[in-house]
Amino acid sequence: MSLAELVANEFHVALDSVMLLRHSSESVKKLLATGGTVEDYTFTQPTGTAYDYAHPNKQPIELVIVIVQDRVYAVYRVLGIEKEGTTYSLTSAAHQRFDVERSKPPRPARRFLMQPLSSTYTGLAIHGWEGGRSRTAVQRSGGAFFSQISGSVVADKLDSTALNDDLDKQIAESLASTPAQRKQRLTLAPKLPRRIEVTTTAFLRNADVIAEVLLRANGICELCRTPAPFLRKKDRSPYLEVHHRIRLTDGDEDTTANAIAICPNCHRREHYA
């Protein structure tokens, strides 16, 4: 299924009311260098052009899928026309500098009211815009390759462990980056997090083991020997977590001999220190 079909189905709109808008990486780099924003670049469009969401001779656009660096940056619902004017009068001073640097004169334009939507596909890597197609910034229904723009949906299904491992790797890479590199990535990053399907494998643990270990601890962490940090809201019992000395994933037993009741801080230390 194409990217446009996925998003159209997600928000229950007609496929011919969806636009794919791809901002080139080079243009976005220049835009950000002038202090402009992707939102300003997206919300104001020249009147009567392929970018015009309310073009008089084309199907009105209801959803705009914005693509930056070949990923879905955001999905916006077009609520209507906010103002009419020129590409200079309707945009910020930073965006005007961007147009000046590109030798773009003021053109008749419309600024649209745009509602950001929380889409499952935000952040999705897209395919089908490679090569010579990159010179075409807009695709509407019926466009030359509108139906060929797709994303890696199946590959993005992860189990929870793999998801956490991947996040840990990305955090390490981010910490190793320069502040300038992080700032640039943050500027380009979608503000709404992408949702994906996550699969989890869990053990059916023995409730009696948990109860016996908690009673044995009697509200005292069995590692640091300090009282539980707080009481449970539901029954005012001391809050401790039951941890297996040797992990169940390593094939060990779910028994009182292999379990201890510990405070949340010690529990994290056991897993990550």
The band of 84, judged by pLDDT with boundaries at 50, 70 and 90, is very high
- pLDDT (tens digit per residue) in 189-216: 766 676 667 777 778 888 899 999 999 9
The band of 252, judged by pLDDT with boundaries at 50, 70 and 90, is confident
The predicted structure's pLDDT at residue 114: 94
Question: What is the distance between the alpha carbons of residues 130 and 181, in angstroms, rounded to a whole number?
Answer: 25
On the question of pLDDT at 154 being above 80, the answer is no
Q: Average per-residue pLDDT in the chain?
A: 89
Q: Long-range contact list for 152-155, CB < 8 A, 24+ apart?
A: 152/124, 152/125, 152/127, 153/6, 153/121, 153/124
Residue from 28, 265, 53 nearest 138 by CA: 53
The band of 158, judged by pLDDT with boundaries at 50, 70 and 90, is low
Task: Work out the end-to-end distance of the chain between its first and last CA atoms, rounded to an integer number of angstroms.
Answer: 44
Sole residue written with tokens 């989890």: 200
The CA-based angle 107-58-85, given to 5 degrees, is 25
Residue 8 CB neighbours (<10 A): 21
- pLDDT (tens digit per residue) in 88-142: 999 999 999 999 999 999 999 999 999 999 888 888 889 999 888 988 999 999 9
The predicted structure's pLDDT at residue 152: 67
Q: Find the mean pLDDT for residues 22-26.
A: 91
Q: For the chain, what's the residue count? A: 273
Residue from 84, 18, 80 nearest 48 by CA: 84
CA distance to 5, 54, 82, 189, per residue, from 114 (Å): 20, 13, 9, 18
Those residues whose C-beta lies under 8 Å from the C-beta of residue 147, and which sit 6 or more positions away, are 2, 4, 5
Hey, where are the domains in the chain? Answer: 3-153, 158-199, 207-272
At 122, the amino acid letter reads T
The band of 162, judged by pLDDT with boundaries at 50, 70 and 90, is confident
Higher pLDDT, 172 or 144: 144
Sole residue written with tokens 């797709």: 150
- pLDDT (tens digit per residue) in 34-78: 988 999 899 999 999 999 999 999 999 999 999 998 899 999 999
Do 68 and 21 contact (CB within 8 A), yes or no?
Answer: no
The band of 171, judged by pLDDT with boundaries at 50, 70 and 90, is confident
Dig out the tokens for 151 from the structure.
């994303």
The band of 186, judged by pLDDT with boundaries at 50, 70 and 90, is confident
Residue from 125, 128, 122, 96 nearest 109 by CA: 96
The band of 167, judged by pLDDT with boundaries at 50, 70 and 90, is confident
Q: Long-range contact list for 23-29, CB < 8 A, 24+ apart?
A: 23/66, 23/67, 23/68, 23/73, 23/137, 24/134, 24/137, 25/68, 25/69, 27/102, 28/68, 28/69, 28/188
